[in-house]
Amino acid sequence: KQEVTQIPAALSVPEGENLVLNCSFTDSAIYNLQWFRQDPGKGLTSLLLIQSSQREQTSGRLNASLDKSSGRSTLYIAASQPGDSATYLCVGRTDKLIFGTGTRLQVFP
Amino acid sequence: GAGVSQSPSNKVTEKGKDVELRCDPISGHTALYWYRQSLGQGLEFLIYFQGNSAPDKSGLPSDRFSAERTGGSVSTLTIQRTQQEDSAVYLCASSGGGTWAQYFGPGTRLTVL
């Protein structure tokens, strides 16, 4: 059974810090992996999508990597800001979507 | 109910026809979301309902797409004049009960020929 685990479950940091959020999955047979942020009361916002043939994607201060052989993906947030406060989800796709457990991030001024 | 349900589970239609997709959220959940996932693509947000507030339609890809939520419960996503690029799995989610964690339905697989 495919499981997606995120570590840490919660993180609280002062602004300006560089952060690494981790996502691990048990089955390397994923088609793609996607990182989202979820803000209270809003829909999921897609951040980065990594196809199984890719190793990383970058958008602004965000960088996501994918290592299928080790079953891991990381989301790197550079120079964190209070506006980055949200829950971050990684979602793996096999023949269905497998949602990670989420990391709740708080960035304080 | 035990979870979010969607119907139909599969829908095959011809290009140019209109389709309606239905979502029954978890009883008591005030928020309802529609997403779609196209082949080889990630999850894409479409629209969000929260209680009696005006829905957030910012994710709808064109004016052929519309959604309603009747009585704060069941929602219908309507696609008019379907195109082949509309082929995707359409997912519905709901949240509520003091948490904004989203619970997803099984999806409707739409194929436009």
Q: How far apart are the first and last CA of chain B?
A: 34
Residue B40 pLDDT grade (very low, low, confident, very high; cuts 50, 70, 90):
low
R_g of chain B, CA atoms, integer Å: 13
Cβ–Cβ pairs < 8 A, chains A and B: 44
> Which residue(s) pair with B56 in the sheet?
B48
Binary contact (A97, B44; C-beta < 8 A): no
Report yes or no: A60 and A27 within 8 Å, Cβ to Cβ.
no
Q: pLDDT tens-digit profile of B58-101?
A: 889 999 999 999 887 999 999 999 999 999 999 999 887 766 56
Mean pLDDT across chain A: 89
Enter the tokens of residue A86.
């949200």
Q: Which of these, A27, A28, A29, A10, lies nearest to A19 by C-alpha position?
A: A10
Report whether pLDDT(B2) > 80.
no
Within 13 Å and on the Cβ side, how many CA atoms surround A82? 2
Closest chain B residue to A93 measured between Cα atoms? B42
Which of B32, B41, B43 has the highest number of chain A CBs within 10 A, making it the mutation to test binding with A?
Answer: B43
Task: Measure the CA–CA gap between B84 and A62, rounded to whole angstroms.
Answer: 33
